[in-house]
Amino acid sequence: MIEKGIKGRLEQVVTPEMSAARIGSGLVEVFATPMMIALMERTCNESVVPQLEPGQGTVGTLINVTHSAATPIGMKVWCESELIEVDRRRLVFRVRAFDSRGPIGEGLHERFIIDTKRFMQKAMGQV
């Protein structure tokens, strides 16, 4: 059983492929908001994977975050997550992102625990 309080942390270096200009979310060569969100989702997901039953996974269903500072290519960024609410299969995380200069984003992210095989069957129209 997953209980609140689980923490996660992942880091990466911003590459040109992660820039707003490269992925099309803006025109500048800085860490793109969608890439920050992907880092947040990955951090939350990976923090709970060891607690899941075999055959289970999680999927993101809601994200509400701000991206408050620009990070240049080549700088390290990281995300810290904390599981703050568990309601049956629904997991709510507080997420915060940083670069070497300080905070760059924060908010909440919601994920649901799924049966991976059944989820994929439904996604493929087989259920």
Query: For the chain, which residues make up each domain, given as ranges?
Result: 7-123
Task: Measure the CA–CA gap between 55 and 116, rounded to whole angstroms.
Answer: 6
Average pLDDT, the chain: 97
> Of 43, 67, 109, 110, which one is the catalytic site residue?
67
Q: Is 67 a catalytic residue?
A: yes
Q: Are 46 and 39 in contact (CB under 8 A)?
A: no
Q: pLDDT tens digits, residue range 36-84? A: 999 999 999 999 999 999 999 999 999 999 999 999 999 999 999 999 9
Supply 101's token pair.
């200069």
Q: Is 55 exposed, middle or buried (0-12, 13-18, 19+ CB in 10 A)?
A: exposed
Prediction pTM value: 0.96
Across 86-112, average pLDDT: 98
Q: Is 43 a catalytic residue?
A: no
Architecture category of domain 7-123 in CATH: Roll (3.10)
pLDDT at 22: 97
> Of 41, 80, 106, 110, which one is the catalytic site residue?
41
> Of 11, 15, 17, 33, which one is the catalytic site residue?
33
Q: Is 33 a catalytic residue?
A: yes
Query: Is residue 15 very low, low, confident or very high in pLDDT (cuts 50, 70, 90)?
Result: very high
